[in-house]
Amino acid sequence: MILIYLLKVSACTLIFFAAYQLLLAKLTFFNLNRVYLLMMLVLSFSIPAITIESRHKEMIANKEIPSKIAYSDDGFVEQDFVDKGSAASNNLNWDELLLYSYCAILAALIFRMLFMMARIQIQLRKHAIDRSGAIILVDARSTIKNCSFFNQIIVDSSLQLDEKNLVIKHESVHVKQLHAADKLLVNFVTAILWFNPIIYFWRNAIDHNHEFLADRETSKVVDKKIYASLLLDLAMPNQNLAINSFSKLPLKNRIMMLYKEPNTKLQKLVYLAIVPVFMICCMAFVNRKEIIVEKTLAENQTLADAPTKPNVYAMNYLNSNIKVNPNAAFNEVEPTLVIDAGHGGKDGAIAALDGQKEKDLNLRAVKILKEEAAKRGIKVILTRNSDQFISLRDRLPKQEATAFISIHHNATLANAAVPFGGIEVYVSKQNTNIKIAEDLGAGILSKLKQLNGLEVRDSLKNANLLLLRESKVPAVLIELGNISERKTLDYINQEKNIRKISNLILDGFVAFSKQGC
């Protein structure tokens, strides 16, 4: 996510700027400081963008390849039930809101920067009274004076000749050393990291360093006292970030650096201290990606001949991210399946052709599924075991579990054609763990395709349903058939057929649970 990346960039800027303030800010190696400030600014964006891959092999038994993950968007989709009879509404997506807010502020700041540059050009055309190459003389009313803007040097025409020459000498350093390019870069970065207070101090540090460089060159041709006096006489507030002003408040640091004795060359060794700082940032913010290379065992080879791998792996899905504990993640655990019987109580009045209500058919199927799971030693937790109303959020798993399955039956409005009468498996692409949910859904779907007597849709379906979207546990929703179609209803009314379907679902669940994290 882009916002996470920008937070890592901000953390890098904090570390690098703290090192600058502690070790380098008081040194007179201004050129090296300039290189440091620009280079570390670029590295702050580069380090979090780097991904280091680590690979390791894992022996697996020869197993059935799950069906290819594909999506189908046609057909009927149930709507989330909202209490008090209100229509279903989408939850506010805070991630998207934050992203849109960030982008809006970024666009406003970039527009402000461009507007500021355009305004400078307008001011120059309005107040310029003489041009000589890159030097522009402006009248006393101009607010843009005694400064440089890219390759233009703007001087107040009312200054004495020697004062003009000093201003031109100072601003020529900014122009020759391309300080405008530094300012353009740091202003753009400031717009990107507008939420990071450190970047404003960083911009000031670059600005001060520019002035130290220009002051050092100018003081070589004039007495320092005369030069410092002129700086004080022409001092003005820093009102425009796009220009290099000859003298802007505050001046304390500039005058101190002007009179400071240059550091000895041996003191350049302090820059070596940047190496461990750089290494710390790399270790903390470089992304790491673990790639498992699976190697299938030969037909006559067993897992006993290879590194042991237990049947079911420990999983931790309820945290914000999936985490693997290298010391305990591969311990065998009891597989836990949370099963939800859709609707219930005042929710679920949709009736089948024979008058049965969907909520009751859902509950019957879930109880059979639990019985078949118990035969396999699979722990099942039901969200409801009677005809009761439970809100959608209360159905979401609150405990650690291997997977979450919500059972439903489709229905079609009276006198309307049935678009699809068979079984369908749904996931939500808006879930943060969609790839894992796809593995679960594709695995169950591949097993359900073995069913005879009832059609099974050959691809997953995407649904923006709360249970699928908000679940921290890998979640799928299964429609066991359309109860508005006589053939489908006759099939699912037979208990033996529901047990067949249940066992195929459990086959897919067991295959998924063996994959591990």
pLDDT digits (tens, 9 = 90+) for 149-205: 989 999 998 888 988 999 999 999 999 999 999 999 999 999 999 999 999 999 999
Average pLDDT over residues 102-126: 92
Of the candidates 459, 363, 362, the one whose C-alpha atom is nearest the C-alpha of residue 78 is: 362
Q: How many structural domains does the chain have?
A: 3
Mean pLDDT of the 68-74 span: 65
3-state secondary structure 333-395: CCCEEEEEECCECCECCCECCCCCEHHHHHHHHHHHHHHHHHHCCCEEEECCCCCCCCCHHHH
pLDDT in tens, 262-296: 999 899 999 999 999 999 999 999 988 666 555 65
Any domain includes 270: no
Above pLDDT 70, what percent of the chain? 81
Residue 46 belongs to what domain range? Answer: 2-60+275-285
pLDDT at 21: 94
Separation of CA 242 from chain center: 31
Domain presence at residue 162: yes
- Assess whether pLDDT exceeds 80 at residue 470: yes
* Average pLDDT of the segment spanning 322-341: 60
Q: Is the pLDDT of residue 302 over 60?
A: no
What was the pLDDT predicted at 297? 56
Q: In the chain, count H helices and then E strands.
A: 15, 13
User: Looking at the structure, do residues 462 and 431 belong to the same domain, yes or no?
Assistant: yes
Q: What's the mean pLDDT in 423-442?
A: 91
User: According to the model, what pLDDT value does residue 327 have?
Assistant: 39
CA angle 319/325/331 to nearest 5° reads: 110
Beta strands in 121-265 (DSSP E): 128-132, 135-138, 147-149, 152-156, 244-245
Residues 52, 110: one domain?
no
Do 8 and 128 lie in one domain? The reply is no
Do 49 and 103 fall into the same domain?
A: no
Q: What is the pLDDT of residues 72-92, one digit of tens each?
A: 766 545 556 555 544 444 445
Q: Any idea which of 124-128, 297-301, 452-456 has the lowest mean pLDDT?
A: 297-301
Indicate if 353 and 473 belong to the same structural domain: yes
Could you check whether the bond before residue 250 is cis, i.e. omega within 30 degrees of 0? yes
CA angle 440, 441, 445 (to 5 degrees): 120
Higher pLDDT, 419 or 366: 366
pLDDT for the residue 188: 95
Q: How confident is the model at residue 331 (pLDDT cuts 50, 70, 90)?
A: very low
Is 103 among the domain residues? yes
Examine residue 255 and state whether it is found in any structural domain, yes or no.
yes
- pLDDT score recorded for residue 222: 87
Helix (H) or strand (E) holding 164: helix 161-176
Specify whether the CB–CB gap between 209 and 257 falls below 8 A: no
In the chain, pLDDT over 90 holds for what percent of residues?
A: 47
> 484 and 397 share a domain?
yes
pTM above 0.75, yes or no: no
Residue with more model confidence, 320 or 139: 139
Please indicate, yes or no, if residue 341 is contained in any of the structural domains.
yes
Given this model, what pLDDT does residue 238 score? Answer: 65
* One domain for residues 120 and 224: yes
Residue 320: pLDDT over 70: no
Give the SS3 label for residue 183. Answer: helix
What average pLDDT score do residues 403-423 get?
Answer: 84
Q: What is the number of other CB atoms lying within 10 angstroms of the CB of residue 199?
A: 23
Pick from 50-64, 222-236, 467-481: least confident? 50-64
On whether both 108 and 42 belong to a single domain, the answer is no
Highest average pLDDT, of 18-32, 49-63, 71-85, 291-305, comes from 18-32
Residue 401 lies in a domain: yes
Query: For the chain, how long is the longest CA-to-CA vector?
Result: 104
Whichever domain contains 442, its CATH number is 3.40.630.40
Burial of 55 (0-12, 13-18, 19+ CB in 10 A): exposed
Q: What is the 3-state secondary structure (H, E, C) of 62-117?
A: CCCCCCCCCECCCCCCCCCCCHHHCCCCCCCCHHHHHHHHHHHHHHHHHHHHHHHH
For the stretch 337-366, what's the b/e string if a residue is b when 16 or more beta carbons lie within 10 angstroms of its beta carbon? Answer: bbbbbbbbeebbebebeeebbbbbbbbbbb
Same domain, 504 and 464: yes
Name the CA radius of gyration of the chain, rounded. Answer: 35
Q: What is the DSSP string of 446-493?
A: HHHTT-SSS-B-SSBEE---HHHHH-SS-EEEEEEEETTSHHHHHHHT
Same domain for 441 and 394? yes
Q: Which residues contact 480 (CB under 8 A, 6 or more apart)?
A: 361, 365, 407, 408, 409, 423, 492, 498, 501
